[in-house]
């Protein structure tokens, strides 16, 4: 991971280098294996899990921001894949379908966390942790992982889905139950914050 000092003139150079190396993964599965999985073959389902385990985990890690939540996203995604693989129509790639399930599960987890924070008894949670204030300023050199971790979960999710996974603002809005304008404003906020933090 390049350190923040690798940033270019506008402060986003390091982010551009980082995201160019993190483009959405592509996983292919043989059609015979897919047919077996759709028929409920446990060995074929296990092969699908092995094929998609790393990219789903990485996607969950990037959207949710921590390993524990990424593990939950991985588990929830494959429970859904096993339940629903028979309904996969094959209109697009299997990875596109699995990725959409994983994104949906990650966003559901963020919503649950936001709800938990807003229901906390100490009164200190609320939406501020999800949408508002950022963590304290770092005191030493930082890398991009640290900077991404400083973004609020929703802002980080929009940034990742748009800039790395290639989702449109309309698709992000639909996935989040928001508007395309919401996605655009969150992306603008993310780029502004990255620029400030990486300069």
For residue 169, pLDDT beyond 90: yes
Q: Where do the structural domains in the chain lie, given as residue ranges? A: 4-198
Domain 4-198: CATH class, spelled out? mainly alpha
Q: Nearest Cα to 144, choosing from 62, 23, 69?
A: 62
* pLDDT value for 189: 93
- The tens digit of pLDDT for each residue in 6-46 reads 444 555 655 555 554 445 556 778 888 899 999 999 999 99
Residues 6+ apart with CB under 8 A from 134: 150, 151, 152, 193
Instruction: Give residue 3's pLDDT.
Output: 41
User: Nearest 10 degrees: CA dihedral of 85, 89, 90, 95?
Assistant: -40
- Between 131 and 172, the higher pLDDT residue: 172
- Mean pLDDT for the chain overall: 79
Mean pLDDT of 104-113: 90
Q: What is d(CA 33, CA 26) in angstroms, rounded to the nearest whole number?
A: 17
DSSP string, the chain: --BGGG--TTS-HHHHHHHHTTPPP-----HHHHHHHHTT-HHHHHHHHHHHHHHHHHHHHHHH-SHHHHHHHHHHHHHHHHHHGGG---SS-HHHHHHHHHHHHHHHHHHHHHHHHHT-TTS--TTHHHHSPPPPPPSS--BHHHHHHHS-HHHHHHHIIIIIT---HHHHHHHHTS-HHHHHHHHHHHHHHHHHHH-
pLDDT score for 42: 94
Tens-digit pLDDT profile for residues 116-161: 655 544 444 443 444 444 444 544 445 677 878 888 989 999 998 9
């Amino acid at each position: 991971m390049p350190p923040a000092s690798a940033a270019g003139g506008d402060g986003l150079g390091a982010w551009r280098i980082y995201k160019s190396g993190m483009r959405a993964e592509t996983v292919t599965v043989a059609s015979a294996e897919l047919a077996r999985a759709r028929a409920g073959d446990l060995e074929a389902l296990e092969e699908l899990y092995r094929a998609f385990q790393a990219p789903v985990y990485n996607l969950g890690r990037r959207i949710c921001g921590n390993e524990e939540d990424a593990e939950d996203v991985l588990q929830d995604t494959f429970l859904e894949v096993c339940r629903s693989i028979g309904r996969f129509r094959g209109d697009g790639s299997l990875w596109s379908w699995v990725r959409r399930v994983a994104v949906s599960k990650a966003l559901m987890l963020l919503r649950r966390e936001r709800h938990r924070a807003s229901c906390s008894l100490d009164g200190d949670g609320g939406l501020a942790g999800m949408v508002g204030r950022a963590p304290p300023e770092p005191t030493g050199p930082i890398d991009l992982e640290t900077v991404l971790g400083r973004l609020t979960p929703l802002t980080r999710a929009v940034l990742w889905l748009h800039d790395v996974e290639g989702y449109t603002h309309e698709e992000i809005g639909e996935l989040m139950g928001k508007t395309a304008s919401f996605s655009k404003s969150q992306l603008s906020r993310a780029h502004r914050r990255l620029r400030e933090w990486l300069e």
